[in-house]
Chains A and B, each alone.
Chain A
């Protein structure tokens, strides 16, 4: 039996430093060992003010709700009616964000097409160009026109239902990209006009224009080539949303895609993902303000992306003024990425299901973010498509149920007045009152 020394001074409980947390320390050790910053995929993992900090008030006496299982709540959205002969008509305002063939496997792209088409919405190509399986399985396909112009082909451009000029991405405003050599299969190499096995850099800026005036002329060129038939979207990172939205509209965009810092990416520096850009919650109101100032709200559509996960997020984005949202990371999870059924293999890669983000290494156990033929076999595009369709349907039902509770017969009828904020930060960013008050920081007349 151990007897305690009565003179012994009791130990304090070991206390971790908030500044030098275990995560931070592991980053330091990794940097010291390798001499290079960490590259990973996915979006920001740090906690930032988000849609979780907003609540809908619902209806009581002063507002009149709609019956959940009886009264209709519309979800359709038309994108690009301003200039395009054939605007995009979607059944639901949730689209699939651009993700490249190369970053994703061919079957994964096929599944995105299958799921989106079954749910009545669009998919988007990415840096690797348009694949036949993606075009074949996507009823509505948006063709990304990217700085790298990998896989750029005017024949594919003419096959698209819309063109999205990518200027920036929420995960890395101002940043380019790199597809590491180990992910370059014969097919990826052929589509990108580069030898197999070497790193493929995606430029941070379009090589053939230098600013907003050139963007306007670039849009004209794309319209002339496609006969003014399809809408032109401009995608910007959520960095300076008011000015970037203004310039995109002035350049003639039919739609603006605005991507917050929680938006994912295939691979970039962790420090970039976590420290550059603004939270999705913070960028929407300035963008809507820009649209309103130019008299273009609901004429030029605003598609919001960056960490959208649920019907509540969709409804909140709509209420703050978006016309639609785009999902990327959430779609991959719906397909089966980071699924716990691969836990042992995630463990073998030094991580765990839910945290795997080394998509650029091409060793994804789920067979989704890889070009390895053996891993790709694990993924069934039909089952993946069914899962994505289910997820999109659930998000839509969730958004509808909230909208009905707020008395709205269309998701677009949700408005900032339906919302309150739980925190001062969220109130200031979303410009909706702090719960229990009629006030938000910066509200005219409040002295802030």
Chain B
């Protein structure tokens, strides 16, 4: 286990050290201590390493992650795992706004609650939230899966495209062109797999699927009232 004290070496040196890890590195386990809410911790990683952050983080922790597993033992600030391409990010606490925004791939697990705009404009990422999510989540979500074990706030899935949204609890309101969908066997399988990967004990059958009604996929003036 390699331990980096962020307070003593600073952000640049920390990220430089992590970025220097090659695909074949045998230094696969890293621990960052004293994060103290710093921004851009462990962003831009691109190696199969496991980084554990002991404490809470600021903006954009694990941003654009590729291959790495990042565990945050605390709460995460806005934009955690934004634009993630692959790998895994696990937040033991709560996540602030726009967690997993524009993510193209990989798995983001939030053990606590996520604030507003979770999974906004997601493009293939899988996000599993053990608690609740805030308003305007999955806005313009293109693809991937958003799993919410608790409740969802207002305007869920507004203007979403092909992303699948699974919510176990209540949804305060659905956004434009988002509707309740049939839960078919393939969706149960997807959900089962994601819950298993996230280490969350929940029955897939208890979830409701939401997705695009596809009425607004091609602009038509007769739909103008929906915008």
Query: Chain B contacts of A209 at CB under 8 A?
Result: 78-79, 98
Q: Mark B108-128, 1 if CB is under 8 A from A, else 0.
A: 000000000100110110000
| Residues 177-227 of A contacting B (Cβ, < 8 Å) | 178, 180-181, 193-195, 197-199, 201, 203, 207-210, 214, 217-218, 220-221, 224-227
Alpha-carbon separation in the docked complex, A197 to B161 (Å)? 12
CB distance from A192 to the nearest CB of B (A): 8
Cα A201 to Cα B46 in complex, Å, equals 30
- Report whether A228 and B12 are in contact in the complex, using a CB–CB cutoff of 8 Å: yes
* Given A154-B83, A193-B142, A221-B59: 20 more A-B contacts, CB < 8 Å: A36-B219, A36-B224, A149-B83, A152-B83, A180-B218, A194-B161, A194-B162, A195-B162, A197-B218, A199-B219, A207-B101, A207-B139, A207-B140, A217-B60, A220-B39, A221-B39, A221-B63, A224-B40, A224-B43, A225-B44
- Does A26 have its Cβ within 8 Å of any Cβ on chain B? no
B117 x A207 contact (CB < 8 A): yes
With A181-B217, A194-B142: A208-B40 Cβ-Cβ less than 8 Å:
no
Q: How far is the CA of A180 from the CA of B219 in the complex (A)?
A: 8
- Would B66 and A181 count as touching, CB distance under 8 A? no
Task: Supply 12 A–B pairs (Cβ within 8 Å), ascending by A.
Answer: A149-B102, A153-B85, A153-B104, A181-B217, A193-B104, A198-B161, A207-B102, A208-B79, A208-B101, A208-B120, A220-B60, A224-B11
| Contact of A221 with B46 at beta-carbon distance under 8 Å, contacts A36-B221, A181-B217, A194-B161 already known | no
The contact of B98 among A193, A197, A207, by CB within 8 Å, is: A207
Given contacts A154-B44, A198-B218, A224-B11, contact A218 B121 (CB under 8 A): no
The verdict on B16 contacting chain A, using a C-beta distance below 8 Å, is yes
**Is A34 in the interface zone, CB < 8 Å from B?**
yes
Give the number of chain A interface residues (Cβ < 8 Å).
Answer: 35
Cα distance A198–B40 in the bound complex, in angstroms: 35
Given contacts A201-B140, A217-B40, contact A152 B102 (CB under 8 A): yes
| Size of B's binding interface in residues, CB under 8 A | 43
- Looking at chain B's contact residues, the main secondary structure is loop
Q: Which residue of A lies closest to B65 (CB)?
A: A154
**How many Å from the CB of A434 to the closest CB on chain B?**
47
Q: Which 7 A-B pairs have the closest CB atoms?
A: A225-B44, A208-B101, A149-B102, A198-B217, A154-B64, A36-B221, A221-B60
A132 at the interface (CB under 8 A from B): no
Residue of B nearest to A228 (CB): B12
Q: Roughly how many angstroms separate A220 CA and B224 CA in the complex, as a whole number?
A: 39
Write out, one digit per residue, whether chain A residues 224-256 have a CB within 8 A of any chain B CB (1) or not (0). 111110000000000000000000000000000
- Considering the chains assembled together, what is the distance between the CA atoms of A225 and B39 in angstroms? 12
Q: Which chain A positions have C-beta within 8 A of B94?
A: none
> Separation in Å of the A268 CB from the closest CB of chain B?
13
For window 28-79 of chain A, which residues contact chain B by CB distance below 8 Å?
A: 34-36
Cross-chain contact of A193 among B40, B63, B64, B124 (Cβ < 8 A): B124
Residues on B with C-beta less than 8 A from A195 are 161-162
Indicate if B153 sits at the interface (CB-CB under 8 A): no
* Structural contact, B218 and A181, CB atoms closer than 8 A: yes
Q: Shortest distance in angstroms between A408's beta carbon and chain B's nearest beta carbon?
A: 40
Is B82 in contact with chain A by the CB < 8 A criterion? yes
Contact with A along B54-82 (1 / 0, CB 8 A): 00001110011010000000000011001
- Quick check: A227 and B218 within 8 Å, CB to CB? no
Q: Which A residues are in CB contact (< 8 Å) with B172?
A: none
B15 CB-CB contact with A under 8 Å:
yes
User: Contacts A198-B218, A199-B219, A220-B39 given: A207-B161 contact, CB under 8 Å?
Assistant: no
Option from B16, B64, B140 in Cβ contact (under 8 Å) with A203: B140
- Of the candidates A181, A218, A228, which one forms a contact with B60 in the assembled complex, judged by CB atoms under 8 Å apart? A218
How many whole Å from B49's CB to the nearest CB in chain A?
A: 16
- Which B residues are in CB contact (< 8 Å) with A180? 218-219
B170-227, CB < 8 A from A: 217-219, 221, 224
Q: How many angstroms from the CA of A225 to the CA of B85 in the assembled complex?
A: 14
In the complex, how many angstroms separate the beta carbon of A340 from the nearest chain B beta carbon?
A: 32
Q: Check B52 for interface membership: any CB of A closer than 8 A.
A: no
B79 A154 Cβ-Cβ under 8 A: no
- A-contact bits for B140-159, CB 8 A (1 contact / 0 none): 10110000000000000001
Closest Cβ of chain B: how far from A32's Cβ, in Å?
Answer: 12
Name, among A36, A148, A193, A214, the residue most crowded by chain B CB atoms within 10 Å (CB to CB). A193
**Which B residues touch A217, using CB under 8 A?**
39-40, 58-60
A208-B78, A217-B39, A224-B43 given as contacts; is B121 within 8 A of A203 (CB)?
yes
Q: Which residue of the partner chain A has the closest CB to B162?
A: A195
Cross-chain contact B59 with A214 (CB below 8 angstroms): yes
> Which one of A194, A210, A214, A225 contacts B64 once the chains associate, using CB atoms below 8 Å?
A225
| Nearest CB of B to A132, in Å | 18
Known: A178-B219, A214-B59, A217-B39. A149 touches B15 (CB 8 A): no
Whether the Cβ atoms of A201 and B159 lie closer than 8 Å is: yes
Cβ–Cβ < 8 Å partners of A198 in chain B: 161, 217-218
CA distance A226 to B63 in the complex (A): 12
Are the CB atoms of A225 and B43 closer together than 8 Å? Answer: yes
* Nearest B residue (CB) for A149: B102
Which of B39, B40, B66 is the most central at the interface, judged by chain A CB atoms within 10 Å of its CB? Answer: B40
Q: How far is the CA of A34 from the CA of B221 in the complex (A)?
A: 8
Which residue of the partner chain A has the closest CB to B15? Answer: A224
Q: Kindly list chain A residues whose C-beta atoms are within 8 Å of the C-beta of B83.
A: 149, 152, 154
Residue contact A149 to B219, C-beta cutoff 8 Å? no
* B82 close to A208 (CB less than 8 A): yes
Return A245 CB to nearest CB of chain B, in Å.
23
Residues of B contacting A203 in the complex (Cβ-Cβ under 8 angstroms): 121, 140
A385 vs B5: C-alpha distance when bound (angstroms): 52
Q: Is the CB of A227 within 8 A of B221?
A: no
